[in-house]
Structure 1
Amino acid sequence: MKIEQIEAFVYVALTGSFSKAGEILFLSQPSVSARVKSLENELGSTLFNRVGKNIILSKSGENFLPYAKEILHNVQSGKLAIQKENNKTEGKLVISSVLIAAYYILPQLFEKFQKAYPKVRLVIHTGHSHHVLEQVLNYEVPIGISRAVNHPLIETTHLMDDEMVLVIYPDHHFSSRKTVSIEEVAREPLILFNRSTYDWSLTYGVFKNLNIEPNVVMEVDSIEVIKRMVKKQVGIALLPRFSINEELAKNQLLKVNVLNIPQLNRNFELIHLKGATFEGIEKLFIDFIVNYFNRKSTNFYL
């Protein structure tokens, strides 16, 4: 019995698909099938049954699965223990992240992680929150970094939240003031996110709740494009505070406080399947990222 056979069996059981298991293991579907078949021959029992297009565990498969998981767990833990002893923690970790976090937040974290563990290779998939959620639900990645998620199969760990702030160009007539009213903001040319996005609902909802119709001159799906439009004095915008750090430092953009509006926070969370257990590099990374954000919670913008 080989560990590769057990690994193939576990991932087929978790995903319900030979092809998805192959994607995770970077194997062809026939290779996964061959490994499972060899394991079945060795055990003398069928581990999966086909019901229509679905692959489900047989009774033997259900009985064997917890032992197979424990074997993988012990092997991974053993490898990590030896790597730590030799100071050679290495391997590959695949995660999924919303693009905004990958662009503005994670580079600092990954820089520190790779300095601490230079032989760990990170593979990062990016997309919108629903893409990250789908990849976690489909066992394509073990963990994701997403906006706030509410799903019965998902467990979340809060990483950080960030406030949406009013951003203007230096020559704007608001630049000499510390605060402005929401009514004044509504009369200015505004650049908002596309209305199909969560950010549109968050920002436009502020005006809607106050029965104010904002002067929206443009809708954009990119923070970088919005910042460029503000710099070119096309309009002003509500943007995440962490996305304008560089521009604020260089005085290319300015932040102005807006009176009489609720705090607009955007939460970011670490997500994974409920009941999932993590060992090895996955646990190493989860502990690292949670500790990192706990340390940064009071001085993220410094």
Structure 2
Amino acid sequence: MEFKQLEAFVAVVEYNSFSEAARHLFLTQPTVSAHIRSLEQELNSKLIIRTTKKLTVTRRGYQLYDCAVNMLNMRNSLIEEFTGQDKKIIDLGVSTIPSSYILPEILSAFGHQVPNVYFHSWQSDSQGAIARVLDGSVDLSLVGNCSQEEECCFVPFCHDRLVIATPVNEHFLRYQEQGACFRDFLEEPFIMREKGSGTKKEIDRYLEEHGISASSLRIVARMNDLEAIRKSIVKGVGISVLSYRSARDLADSRQILLFPLDGDTQGRTFYIVYNKNRILKPHVKQFIHFVKDFYSAPERDSV
């Protein structure tokens, strides 16, 4: 059960209309209907009976309405209590790398420019963050790959590149002195990201473009947790292909070595994703425009 679902339910009861609730919440009517269905399935109760002529709230529906109003009021009171003012809310989905290495600087800069917006974020892999956009539980997501979802609009906002990250030892220091290409690393123990990660999708693209079978890699571990991968590389468990943004702090402190991914002329792109069928609130549109322009100057960091 999520606040978005409760907000939709309360609005339908108060406006006695799905279409009016959608208009006031800046949602599409199918999204409001989906939120109500999800609540009914989770609570195993019929909350609203809708016919072509009228809408009727059930007894259990009115019980939920009273609870939902109290919960939403409590949430708003907590936000006011801890932030000191009534703020606009942006529900934000974010995948792993943007969450840790991009979002903090965006929120800091946006907060200085627009101080009256409160963010509620959920972290997952790119696939999960896109799913939240589709089900209407977030206003937008920041993700590391672009999918074929027809309902979604993907706006590129930040470019990055993939690098090979290795432990710091004599073996890889020699590689660094001599120069090495990706095929030189094929016999090394690899730590890979799990399916659903934008980085994993980019690695698969790179391997396919260069005629390298994934089965030819000596994979010793698959992990969802990026921080666990970073620590495992430092400890010498294996090497991995990472986003440069997620690895440069360890490289700067000489805890790992980075090698450019030869032949990767495309690099990778991070996207703002939102539902094109959803009516976006003005402050959400403002945030999207801000993020789109934030990294307008090209990155010139070198490995």
TM-score, structure 2 length as denominator? 0.67
- 1:300 Cα deviation after fit: 7.1
**Segments of 4+ moved more than 4 angstroms:** 18-23, 45-49, 195-198, 204-209, 299-302
Secondary structure, counterpart of 1:180 in structure 2: coil
Aligned to 2:125: 128
Structure 1: how far apart are the matches of 2:212 and 2:97? 30
Q: Does 1:161 align with 2:164?
A: no
Aligned to 2:268: 266
Secondary structure, counterpart of 2:158 in structure 1: strand
Q: Does 1:102 align with 2:99?
A: yes
Structure 2: how far apart are the matches of 1:270 and 1:172? 41
Task: Read off the aligned partner of 1:273 and give its amino acid letter.
Answer: N
Q: Percent identity?
A: 17
Aligned to 2:233: 230
Residue pair 1:207, 1:214 contacting (<8 A) in 2 also: no
Secondary structure, counterpart of 1:168 in structure 2: strand
Q: Which of 245, 250, 255 is the matching residue for 1:242?
A: 245
Structure 1: how far apart are the matches of 2:224 and 2:103? 20
Q: Which of 281, 284, 287 is the matching residue for 1:282?
A: 284
Q: Does 1:291 align with 2:298?
A: no
Structure 1: how far apart are the matches of 2:279 and 2:301? 29
- 1:109 Cα deviation after fit: 0.6
Larger Rg: 1
Q: Which of 126, 150, 153 is the matching residue for 1:152?
A: 150
Structure 2: how far apart are the matches of 1:21 and 1:293? 39
Aligned to 1:77: none
Aligned to 2:73: none
Aligned to 2:21: 8
- 1:99 Cα deviation after fit: 2.6
Q: Does 1:17 align with 2:33?
A: yes
Structure 2: how far apart are the matches of 1:14 and 1:195? 30
Aligned to 2:193: 193
- 1:299 Cα deviation after fit: 4.9
Structure 1: how far apart are the matches of 2:86 and 2:288? 15
Deviations 1:5-26 (A, max 9, x none): 3862535724242744998xxx
Residue pair 1:8, 1:21 contacting (<8 A) in 2 also: no
- 1:195 Cα deviation after fit: 5.6
- 1:218 Cα deviation after fit: 2.1
Change (3 A) 1:300 1:101: farther
Q: Which of 105, 108, 117 is the matching residue for 2:114?
A: 117
Report the RMSD for the aligned CA atoms in angstroms: 3.7
- 1:270 Cα deviation after fit: 0.9
Q: Figure out how many residues of one structure are paired with residues of the other and give that number.
A: 247
Secondary structure, counterpart of 1:174 in structure 2: helix
- The answer for unaligned runs of 5 or more in structure 2 is 1-10, 57-84
- 1:207 Cα deviation after fit: 5.1
Secondary structure, counterpart of 1:290 in structure 2: helix
Structure 2: how far apart are the matches of 1:48 and 1:258? 59
Once the two structures are superposed, the pairs formed by residues 201-240 of structure 1 within 5 Å of their partners are: 202-203=202-203, 206=206, 209-211=210-212, 213-240=216-243
Secondary structure, counterpart of 2:88 in structure 1: strand
Structure 2: how far apart are the matches of 1:290 and 1:214? 36
Secondary structure, counterpart of 1:148 in structure 2: coil
- 1:131 Cα deviation after fit: 2.2
Structure 1: how far apart are the matches of 2:206 and 2:113? 43
- The answer for unaligned runs of 5 or more in structure 1 is 38-44, 50-87
Once the two structures are superposed, the pairs formed by residues 250-261 of structure 1 within 5 Å of their partners are: 250-259=253-262, 261=263
Change (3 A) 1:131 1:47: farther
TM-score, structure 1 length as denominator? 0.67
Change (3 A) 1:114 1:299: farther
- 1:250 Cα deviation after fit: 1.0
Task: Read off the aligned partner of 2:132 and give its amino acid letter.
Answer: Q
Change (3 A) 1:112 1:300: farther
Residue pair 1:158, 1:270 contacting (<8 A) in 2 also: yes
Secondary structure, counterpart of 1:17 in structure 2: helix
Residue pair 1:192, 1:203 contacting (<8 A) in 2 also: no
- 1:233 Cα deviation after fit: 1.2
